[in-house]
A and B are shown apart, each in its own frame.
Chain A
């Protein structure tokens, strides 16, 4: 049972543009929403995380927007750079439950 739905599956953005990846969740008990970035041959690395008591969190060029009523959260990458080309995973969990991951978005930034 997929509890975190991620879209799009792949995304191509021009350098300098805004990359947007969306996730929707079903379990209203989720209270922790991290995003991970994974480069080929490497493990996922924590990028940024948010809790549902805030609607937005920004770290440098990366911003998470959270809509609790719609049960959706999204990652925005401003001024996208070729070095941002990677696979991005959203995730969610609550309590002592395991992290449930989205299916991933392969982001490609073209010059």
Chain B
């Protein structure tokens, strides 16, 4: 069974640009969550999608948005990039939504660097 796949693995952008990251969950998983990981702040929750609906949202500005498609694949978009957005962006999928205590399986992330 294939794991969670995130593309691209590495991305370099400049300030002011926008970026779209992609996540393909494990087959059959309907929940996709996004996290930002930085050395200073650790793992911080961005948002969760379940059956194409955003169920939870973390404390991030509106520049961070996402969506989920009918096949459960998800994309995350960051607009007007700032230097502080440089981070590892992780996607995690689970069979049930957050709160169902189904284990979350993480992808290996997209390393975003802002110049």
Contacts and interface: CB of A to CB of B under 8 A. Distances in A.
Contact of A96 (B42, B98, B105, B107): B98
A43 B109 contact: yes
A51 B101 CA distance: 10
Interface residues of A, number: 24
A104 B44 CA distance: 12
A43 B108 CA distance: 4
Given A32-B101, A49-B103, A93-B98, A43 B43 contact: no
A98 B98 contact: yes
A44 B106 contact: yes
A43 B33 contact: no
Interface of B: 4, 33, 42-45, 48, 55-56, 58, 90, 92, 97-99, 101, 103-109
Interface of A: 32, 34, 36, 41-46, 49, 51, 89, 93-104
